[in-house]
A and B are shown apart, each in its own frame.
Chain A
Amino acid sequence: MELLDRSIVEVQAALARGEVSARELAEATLARCADPAHAGVHLDHDPARTLAMAAAVDDKRARGEPLGPLAGVPIGLKDVLVTRDARTTCGSRILEGYRPPYDATAVARLRAADAVFTGKLNMDEFAMGSSNENSAYGPVKNPWDPSRVPGGSSGGSAAAVAAGLTLGTLGTDTGGSIRQPAALCGVVGVKPTYGRVSRFGLVAFASSLDQIGTFARDVRGAARLLEVVAGHDPRDSTSVVQPVPDWVSACGKDVKGLRLGVPREYLGEGLEPEVRASIEQALELLRGLGCSVVPIDMPHTRYGVSTYYVIATAECSSNLARFDGVRYGLRVAGKDLRAMYGATRDAGFGPEVKRRILLGTYVLSAGYYDAYYAKAMKVRTLIRRDFDRAFEQVDAIVGPTSPSVAWPFGQKTADPLQMYLADLFTLPASLAGLPGISVPAAKGAESGLPVGLQIVTPAFDEARMFTLAHAFEQVSPGRWDRAWPRA
């Protein structure tokens, strides 16, 4: 197996032993990226920069200088993270060609860790979408089946890892935007606890929900990448002061005796049969590892979608107000100031972004605030309590990540509600701010497409999440090297 198809943890070791140079790895990723099948994955792809970063790491190693924990490891970045040496568009026309003057904290930490950047990855515009069809720069194809969506909004981040274009990627998850595309592309995707990773430099969609997380082929790789970017940042007031444990070491610990809760609500209507079958098989495997699996009730699950779409749109209507044509990005002239604002935002934003700005503006308006936003915040508390109560009985909550496998392009674009329901199982943990991971569970019996198992643990207990995910990964028929058609 080529190095690019191995775990970050193994590649790190190979680099450290000098079995491969950063430059060789970089060249390997560039060779794969050159394949036209992967067009659309990147929004900014600069081979010269990637090679220069790799050469710098090799030079440092040759001079015997101390190297960071990801020295020479190729890493891709979702285009919602600002980077001082590459365009950042968030998949939007309104930021076409925009070059930020600074690095996001997560990006700066990867730089400090001597990672090699392989490019900025395509996404739904401003992270709003579940299929990557909302990018202003065209869709991303699912590497398992190019006629299907990769999921979203971090579609490029998931597809890049699945296709082996890079070893790991950063994505962002607001309502499932890491876990869902990870499931649909058959890779591991982690959304840590809200506050774990600094949001400084993450272009905000919904500030109280947005969280940076990681994609990798395997659980240990995703854990290693997260270790590097997590940790308190004084520039983000919502970032928490919590030590970052050694999550890679948490992988491999025993899971015998762990109590796992499966919300009855997650196995109800709307679940595709092959997803249900794959999840039931996964639960059986977990029992085989010595875990107990018990049904639990999460009665407010059914309010997740409506609650989320009130809160997230309210915040987005405010967060996206800064794209006004005045200081940066697109400006379309108008006869006066108001006309310029209108023309700029009309030309710059796509239909889904406009829909959410309108919805969010509406729910925050005088006279409607209490009925929508204030009420949604109350329901959010109830959803959080569902989890609090559940974690009194169980150590982790498991279930399907997505109700369906990857669907064909265009299937849900006409009906926003159908699209929103794709996030039904990921939204509750987002609203509660809890850590969640999607691990490949199987190839669907009917479609042969990946199905993901979601594991949610209490706040700041990513260690248990990684332990359980890693143990399951070892027995999962969906594990990368067992399931990937070209493996």
Chain B
Amino acid sequence: MTAPTAWEPIIGLEVHAQLLTRTKIFCGCATSFGAEPNTHVCPVCLGLPGALPVLNRSAAEMAVRTALALGCTVRARSVFARKSYFYPDLPKGYQISQFDLPFSEHGHLDIEPEGGEPRRVGITRIHLEEDAGKNLHGVAEVPGQSVIDLNRAGTPLVEIVGEPDLRGPEDAVAYLKKLRSILVALGVNDGNLEEGSFRCDVNVSVRRRGTEAFGTRVEIKNINSFRHVQRGLAYEIARLTDLAERGETFRQHTRQWDDERGRTVFLREKEGSDDYRYFPDPDLPALVLDEAFVAAQRAQLPELPDARRHRLTSVLGLPTYDADLLTSHPRIGDFFEEILRSRPGDGAFAKRAANFVMTEVLAGTTTHGLEVSFPITSSQLVELLGLVEAGTISGKQAKDVYAAVQGTDRSPKSWVESQGMAQVSDASALETICQGLIDQNPKQASAYRAGKTNMLGFFVGGVMRETKGSANPVVVNEILLRLLA
């Protein structure tokens, strides 16, 4: 946190999140990332003459789940509106969006900014709209020309408009991380900033502390990582503060974050001609989201990250650090909970399992959007940890078994048996070995009995050697102490 100045930053974020529907919002084309350009297109998303939109039901379902998870109200009857502007990536010359009657409003998000107090910030509204295509420049096949890929055109988006409740870069980052974790937990968005499926526009202004009125704001574009949010905002707040200190005024405008040079640069004026001529789309009837529809979506809401974290810490007693790490991705949380189900309500086991997952499993886990690939299946891990809990193998052996079974479909149990690794806990078998050792090493036994207690290690080591490390050290200790007494 930078030291407070006389000037207070006011930040509001607009997030565009692509919904993970199978098909586009107004046609049957597949939604896809990275396909050959212009292969997932049809008359509707190409904006061909005569084509008409038909709303994809699952886009509405996902949008409503998003709204409910963010504490928003859902409007029973909302309206799609046309937002008109000319741009080559916008095939119809208008974007189908929502304007004065969005489907959802009045939500909130609880954030815990780094170094700050947890608090609740407002969400003004969420509306449903279609994405545009992409203009491409510098494509090798067509040097010197701009070309357009319309695969993305018509991908469903929710635009989540936040209240100007954020007061610094840390707030903004916390807000975005939290929002992303919720959308990903809902399964409605893959949270990928780099590929642009989760995009944010940042609005920032400064005002003198203690005053009410907002200063002139700027919008920052090209923010496609949390690091950019942090750096871009820090830069812009300092710049705006400096201008304010010097009493300089400027017109509302849009800037672009230049990450390489570490600064924002002027992009364009917010012109008075920013008139999108919104009007209700006559091709689409009003979007009616009745109580039954909303209730059905509410019933499908998964446990959200906050609730899951709370359950792990207060019910199972895991440290906050563990709970944060294990709920950082919904699939990791699911994986961990599958392990927990093998010994329900066992807090001590939960902690041992958490340790194993955090130290061993997560090191080899990769995530891409909603997808997570684990080096071991949860059922393999349940079996492995079960062997430890039963005393069949030691914690140390468990790491060796993990190394042997990860990335394979081997059963840990069969592997332990086939390698003769089972830990020997059989007291009578161990007692024979211990007695034999004592008999063969009378000098050392006498030394121990004479008070040289560190000689115990000699005998333990001997048992371990003879059992190739499979002896249960606790049982061995017990027996030796008795026999040498």
State A39–B233 Cα separation when bound (angstroms).
68
* Interface assignment of B117: CB less than 8 Å from any CB of chain A: no
What are the residues of chain A within 8 A of B278 when measuring CB–CB? 364
Which B253-267 residues have a C-beta within 8 angstroms of A?
Answer: none
Closest Cβ–Cβ distance, residue A432 to chain B (whole Å): 15
Instruction: Determine whether the beta carbon of B277 is less than 8 Å from that of A200.
Output: no
Instruction: Determine whether the beta carbon of B282 is less than 8 Å from that of A322.
Output: no
What are the residues of chain B within 8 A of A101 when measuring CB–CB? 43, 48
* Interface assignment of B136: CB less than 8 Å from any CB of chain A: no
Give a binary string over B48-91; 1 marks a CB under 8 Å from any A CB, 0 the rest.
11111111000000000000000000000000001010101001
Closest Cβ–Cβ distance, residue A391 to chain B (whole Å): 24
Range, interface on chain A: 35 or more
What are the residues of chain A within 8 A of B43 when measuring CB–CB? 100-102
What are the residues of chain A within 8 A of B84 when measuring CB–CB? 317-318, 321, 364
* Interface assignment of B283: CB less than 8 Å from any CB of chain A: yes
Q: Which residue, B47, B148, B275, B282, has most C-beta atoms of chain A within 10 A?
A: B282
* Interface assignment of A292: CB less than 8 Å from any CB of chain B: no
Instruction: Determine whether the beta carbon of A365 is less than 8 Å from that of B275.
Output: yes
Closest Cβ–Cβ distance, residue A319 to chain B (whole Å): 9
* Interface assignment of A373: CB less than 8 Å from any CB of chain B: yes
Given contacts A207-B282, A364-B277, A373-B279, contact A236 B49 (CB under 8 A): no
Closest Cβ–Cβ distance, residue B289 to chain A (whole Å): 16
Set A238, A314, A321: member contacting B279, Cβ < 8 A: A314
State A196–B51 Cα separation when bound (angstroms).
17
Instruction: Determine whether the beta carbon of B91 is less than 8 Å from that of A237.
Output: no
* Interface assignment of B46: CB less than 8 Å from any CB of chain A: yes
* Residue of A with least CB distance to B92: A322
What are the residues of chain B within 8 A of A413 when measuring CB–CB? none
Instruction: Determine whether the beta carbon of A321 is less than 8 Å from that of B86.
Output: yes
What are the residues of chain B within 8 A of A322 when measuring CB–CB? 47, 49, 91-93
What are the residues of chain A within 8 A of B294 when measuring CB–CB? none
Instruction: Determine whether the beta carbon of B48 is less than 8 Å from that of A318.
Output: no
User: Which listed segment binds B: A129-137, A296-304, A324-332?
Assistant: A324-332
Instruction: Determine whether the beta carbon of B283 is less than 8 Å from that of A238.
Output: yes
Set B86, B279, B284: member contacting A369, Cβ < 8 A: B279
* Residue of B with least CB distance to A103: B50
Instruction: Determine whether the beta carbon of A237 is less than 8 Å from that of B285.
Output: yes
Given contacts A208-B282, A322-B93, A373-B279, contact A237 B55 (CB under 8 A): yes
State A322–B284 Cα separation when bound (angstroms).
18
What are the residues of chain A within 8 A of B94 when measuring CB–CB? 318, 321
What are the residues of chain A within 8 A of B277 when measuring CB–CB? 317-318, 361, 364-366, 369
State A330–B282 Cα separation when bound (angstroms).
26
* Residue of A with least CB distance to B80: A237
* Interface assignment of A443: CB less than 8 Å from any CB of chain B: no
Interface size on B, residues (CB 8 A): 28
Closest Cβ–Cβ distance, residue A247 to chain B (whole Å): 25
What are the residues of chain B within 8 A of A25 when measuring CB–CB? none
* Residue of A with least CB distance to B89: A326
State A81–B49 Cα separation when bound (angstroms).
9
* Residue of A with least CB distance to B275: A366
* Interface assignment of A75: CB less than 8 Å from any CB of chain B: no
Instruction: Determine whether the beta carbon of A238 is less than 8 Å from that of B285.
Output: yes
Set A200, A318, A323: member contacting B52, Cβ < 8 A: A200
What are the residues of chain A within 8 A of B91 when measuring CB–CB? 322, 326-327
Closest Cβ–Cβ distance, residue A350 to chain B (whole Å): 17
State A179–B328 Cα separation when bound (angstroms).
65
Instruction: Determine whether the beta carbon of A199 is less than 8 Å from that of B282.
Output: no
What are the residues of chain A within 8 A of B47 when measuring CB–CB? 322, 327
State A327–B45 Cα separation when bound (angstroms).
12
* Residue of A with least CB distance to B27: A235
What are the residues of chain A within 8 A of B148 when measuring CB–CB? 326-327
* Interface assignment of A397: CB less than 8 Å from any CB of chain B: no
Give a binary string over B109-136; 1 marks a CB under 8 Å from any A CB, 0 the rest.
0000000000000000000000000000
State A236–B44 Cα separation when bound (angstroms).
11
What are the residues of chain B within 8 A of A326 when measuring CB–CB? 88, 91, 148
What are the residues of chain A within 8 A of B283 when measuring CB–CB? 204, 207, 237-238
Q: Which residue, A82, A204, A321, has most C-beta atoms of chain B within 10 A?
A: A321
Instruction: Determine whether the beta carbon of B49 is less than 8 Å from that of A203.
Output: yes
Q: Which residue, A200, A322, A366, has most C-beta atoms of chain B within 10 A?
A: A322
Given contacts A364-B277, A365-B275, A369-B279, contact A318 B50 (CB under 8 A): no
Closest Cβ–Cβ distance, residue A22 to chain B (whole Å): 28
Give a binary string over A213-237; 1 marks a CB under 8 Å from any B CB, 0 the rest.
0000000000000000000001111
Given contacts A237-B285, A318-B82, contact A202 B50 (CB under 8 A): yes
Instruction: Determine whether the beta carbon of A315 is less than 8 Å from that of B282.
Output: yes
Closest Cβ–Cβ distance, residue A41 to chain B (whole Å): 22
Instruction: Determine whether the beta carbon of A321 is less than 8 Å from that of B46.
Output: no
Instruction: Determine whether the beta carbon of B92 is less than 8 Å from that of A104.
Output: no
Instruction: Determine whether the beta carbon of A203 is less than 8 Å from that of B50.
Output: yes
Given contacts A237-B284, A365-B277, contact A321 B49 (CB under 8 A): no
What are the residues of chain A within 8 A of B53 when measuring CB–CB? 237
Instruction: Determine whether the beta carbon of B279 is less than 8 Å from that of A337.
Output: no
Closest Cβ–Cβ distance, residue A343 to chain B (whole Å): 13
* Residue of A with least CB distance to B148: A326
Closest Cβ–Cβ distance, residue A324 to chain B (whole Å): 6
Given contacts A101-B43, A207-B282, contact A324 B54 (CB under 8 A): no
What are the residues of chain A within 8 A of B284 when measuring CB–CB? 237
Instruction: Determine whether the beta carbon of A200 is less than 8 Å from that of B51.
Output: yes
Instruction: Determine whether the beta carbon of A100 is less than 8 Å from that of B50.
Output: yes
* Residue of A with least CB distance to B146: A337
State A306–B255 Cα separation when bound (angstroms).
44
Closest Cβ–Cβ distance, residue A234 to chain B (whole Å): 7
Instruction: Determine whether the beta carbon of B50 is less than 8 Å from that of A200.
Output: yes
Closest Cβ–Cβ distance, residue A199 to chain B (whole Å): 6
What are the residues of chain B within 8 A of A234 when measuring CB–CB? 54
Q: Which residue, A236, A324, A365, A369, has most C-beta atoms of chain B within 10 A?
A: A324
What are the residues of chain B within 8 A of A320 when measuring CB–CB? 93
Which A341-388 residues have a C-beta within 8 angstroms of B?
Answer: 341, 361, 364-366, 369, 373
State A337–B47 Cα separation when bound (angstroms).
19
State A201–B88 Cα separation when bound (angstroms).
22
* Residue of B with least CB distance to A206: B282
Instruction: Determine whether the beta carbon of A236 is less than 8 Å from that of B52.
Output: yes
Given contacts A237-B52, A318-B94, A318-B277, contact A327 B82 (CB under 8 A): no
State A326–B90 Cα separation when bound (angstroms).
10
What are the residues of chain B within 8 A of A200 when measuring CB–CB? 50-52
Report A's interface with B, CB cutoff 8 A: 81-82, 88, 90, 95, 98, 100-102, 104, 199-204, 206-208, 234-238, 314-315, 317-318, 320-324, 326-328, 337, 341, 361, 364-366, 369, 373
7 residue pairs from A and B, CB less than 8 Å apart: A234-B54, A237-B53, A237-B55, A318-B82, A322-B92, A364-B277, A373-B279
Known: A100-B50, A317-B84, A328-B49. 20 other contacts (CB 8 A): A90-B49, A95-B49, A100-B48, A102-B43, A104-B50, A207-B282, A207-B283, A237-B55, A237-B283, A238-B282, A315-B282, A320-B93, A321-B84, A321-B86, A322-B91, A324-B88, A324-B93, A327-B46, A365-B275, A369-B277
Report B's interface with A, CB cutoff 8 A: 43, 46-55, 82, 84, 86, 88, 91-94, 148, 275, 277-279, 282-285
